[in-house]
Amino acid sequence: MVSKLPQPLSVLVTGGLGFLGARLVRELLLLRAPDGNGHLVRLVRAMDLDVHCARKALSDLNEDEWCRVDLCQGDVRDPTSVHEACRGMDAVIHCAALIDVWGQESDEKIYSVNVEGTRLLLKYSILEGARVFVFTSSVEVTGPNSRGDPIYDGDEETQYEPDLKFPYSRSKAEAEKLVLAANGCPLSPRPGFQQHELTALVLRPMYIYGEDSRFLLYHMKKAVANKNVIIRSSLPTAIVNPIYVGNAAYAHALVTVRALQAGQRAPAEVGGKFYYVSDDTPPSSYTDINYLLLASLGFGVASHLPLPYALLYLYAAWLELCALLLRPFFRYVPPLNRQLLVMLNTHFTFRYKRVQDAFGYKPRFSWEESRTRTTAWLDKQLMSM
């Protein structure tokens, strides 16, 4: 599959200053040429809504790396911004998304960002001759469904009946369809390139943890308020496959470059498909991965849910009813809903063999290193609280 790349590459990363995006920018800058001389990526364009936080988001870059970063302020819903961002790019990695599992955002806003933003990026990627389009999706496009049907070590061929309740999940599933349908679309010609069709593919990471995770920080703050005991929101038997943000970013960078190396064969060989992505983090529940990362800082974890699961489900249903009844007067966002409760308490695990076989992906960071890095960051946040 591997062939010589014609020149140092230019890559657009949307959401390039976000949790995953900023780490992906770093991983792309670190990639070396096949002969070990020089960098593989000459330019990373980081597109985000606000680039004023760039120095904080990318604080560990050296001056040489900063010289290869192009900050691009823009909204994925704005055609002018998207067109300018795609200009001259060899590949586009679309990480930007509006994530919401609580119902804080309107359905219209979620769809405009996650679906229409993806549609615009595909349009201008093709128009500008970008050869590879990698879309960051989520395991939540698979489920779990509202019945809480489990999956044990599933893969891309696993049959499942989703009934996606979150607008976020539905929007990502719809955006996936746009991306996969675009695979093989004719590209606008660019001088010096022989690839004439777009390679479009989808990565479905599991729950991503690591430095700068707002979800981890939220749960740590809740635990501090609970006398350093993590509140259990998921049963110990509800196992999932968390992935460290460094490995998620590395997988995106590796897949993008390997797809570019495959050239004109890529649309048929690796394009038009989705790939689950995880690493060697111990399979655990959402609550227990938080505990594994916080235990060395003196945190404990509750052994049981605050209420029996059935009562929590009824409580979530009651909260949703209250939100519905109050809607004519003001917007009430419940702290818990039934689908979130089901997601947190369903065994949902997947293998990542397809991405290994197709791209040679192996986690760059071991579980020990991932935990050490994450816990060190959490310790710093704890000291500043």
Q: Smallest Cα–Cα separation from 5: which of 257, 219, 305?
A: 257
Choose between 242 and 190: higher pLDDT: 242
Query: At a CB cut-off of 8 Å and minimum separation 6, what does 222 contact?
Result: 230, 231
Q: Could you tell me which of 212, 214, 138, 229 has the C-alpha nearest to residue 175?
A: 138
Active-site residue numbers? 168
182: nearest Cα among 225, 125, 108, 227: 125
Measured between alpha carbons, how far is 141 from 290 in angstroms, rounded to an integer?
A: 23
Residue-level pLDDT at 165 = 86
Q: What is the mean pLDDT of residues 194-220?
A: 93
Per-residue pLDDT of 29-41, as tens digits, reads 998 777 667 788 9
15-60 pLDDT, tens digit per residue, is 999 999 999 999 999 987 776 677 889 999 999 998 888 888 888 8
- State pLDDT tens for residues 334-356: 999 999 999 999 999 999 999 99
Structure confidence at residue 185 (pLDDT) = 94
pLDDT, residue 101, reads 82
Dihedral, 57, 63, 68, 69 alpha carbons, nearest 10: 20
pLDDT at 284: 97
Bridge partner list, 46: 13, 71
Distance, in Å, from the CA atom of 312 to the CA atom of 315, rounded to the nearest integer, reads: 5
**Per-residue pLDDT at 124 exceeds 90:** yes
One-letter identity of residue 108: E
Domains of the chain, residue spans: 9-209+243-280+349-364
Q: Which sign does the torsion angle of CA 42, 47, 48, 52 carry? A: positive
The predicted model gives 179-202 an average pLDDT of 87
- Which pLDDT value is given to residue 2? 43
pLDDT at 59: 84
DSSP for 285-299, written as a single string: -HHHHHHHHHGGGT-
Task: Kindly report the pTM of this predicted structure.
Answer: 0.94
Judge whether 132 and 262 are in contact, CB under 8 Å.
no
Mean pLDDT of the chain: 93
- Stretch 187-197: mean pLDDT, rounded? 75
Cα separation, 241 vs 249, in Å, equals: 16
Least confident range of 61-70, 104-113, 114-123, 185-194: 185-194
Contact indicator for 13, 95 with CB cutoff of 8 Å: yes
As a whole number of angstroms, the distance between CA 215 and CA 103 comes to 16
Q: How far is Cα 114 from Cα 189, in angstroms, rounded to an integer?
A: 28
Decide which of 3 and 279 is more confident: 279
| Distance separating alpha carbons of residues 113 and 117, to the nearest angstrom | 5
Q: Tell the CATH topology of 9-209+243-280+349-364.
A: Rossmann fold (3.40.50)
* Amino acid residing at 177: K
Count the alpha carbons within 13 Å of 305 in the hemisphere toward its beta carbon.
Answer: 18
Q: What is the mean pLDDT of residues 131-156?
A: 96
Strand partners for 44: 11, 69
* Span 60-107, pLDDT tens digits: 888 888 889 999 999 999 999 999 999 999 999 999 999 888 878 888
Residues 362 and 372: their CA atoms lie apart, in Å, by: 19
User: Which neighbouring-strand residues pair with 69?
Assistant: 44
Tokens representing residue 337 in the block: 């809903």
Read off the pLDDT of each residue in 269-296 and give the average, rounded to a whole number.
97
pLDDT score of 280 more than 80: yes
**Residue 1 pLDDT:** 43
Percent of the chain with pLDDT over 70: 96
